């Protein structure tokens, strides 16, 4: 829906906030959304949104990607299974794939992917930040509140934040 709303002018994200920063982003394709249900068309729509939000020049796709992307290892109840060591070992395939992009951030549209990708970043010495697509969309619209920035790295926590006390 985000892609449709952007095309219709209902949402008008801007990647200007990242023109000078040149922060690089990659994208996790969620298994349930992409590989198991809607396939490459929805993966393309996500990429359209991401490029509008962070700048096309700042997006680095994983290899493989879309319907052929690797599972993060956190879905299907694995996050809650109690088998943390096994889940992290399985997730190392995803970690290596993210690391190969050299991206600063991994965008995750799925909550399970977000939790797993964030967790495996800690195992890999926080080699990347993990952020929801929704968070970046709101950042690019200039409407992300100060209390909605928990998963942004220090490089983005103050982007376009209005501080009423500084206006006095």
pLDDT per residue as tens digits for the range 122-157: 998 989 999 999 999 999 999 998 888 888 999 998
User: Which tokens belong to 96?
Assistant: 């290596």
Return the SS3 of 10. Answer: coil
The pLDDT of residue 166: 47
- In the chain the first and final C-alpha atoms are separated, in Å, by 39
> Residue 162: which pLDDT band, with cuts at 50, 70 and 90?
low
The pLDDT of residue 10: 97
Q: How far is CA 88 from each of CA 42, 60, 80, 108, 150, rounded to the nearest angstrom?
A: 27, 24, 13, 17, 22
For the chain, domain boundaries? 2-161
Distance CA 67, CA 62 (A): 12
């Amino acid at each position: 829906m985000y892609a449709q709303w952007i095309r219709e002018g209902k949402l008008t994200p801007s990647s200007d906030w990242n023109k000078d920063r040149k922060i690089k982003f990659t994208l996790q394709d969620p298994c349930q959304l992409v590989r198991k249900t809607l396939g490459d068309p929805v993966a393309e729509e996500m990429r359209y949104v991401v490029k509008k939000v962070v700048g096309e020049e700042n997006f680095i796709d994983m290899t493989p990607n879309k319907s052929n992307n690797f599972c993060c290892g956190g879905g299907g109840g694995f996050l809650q299974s109690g088998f943390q060591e096994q889940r992290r070992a399985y997730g190392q395939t995803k970690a290596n794939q993210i690391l190969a992009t050299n991206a600063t951030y991994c965008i995750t549209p799925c909550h399970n992917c977000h939790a797993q990708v964030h967790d495996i970043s800690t195992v890999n010495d926080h080699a990347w930040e993990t952020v929801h697509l929704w968070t970046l969309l709101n950042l690019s619209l200039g409407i992300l509140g100060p209390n909605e920035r928990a998963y942004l790295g220090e490089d983005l926590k103050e982007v376009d934040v209005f501080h009423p006390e500084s206006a006095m």
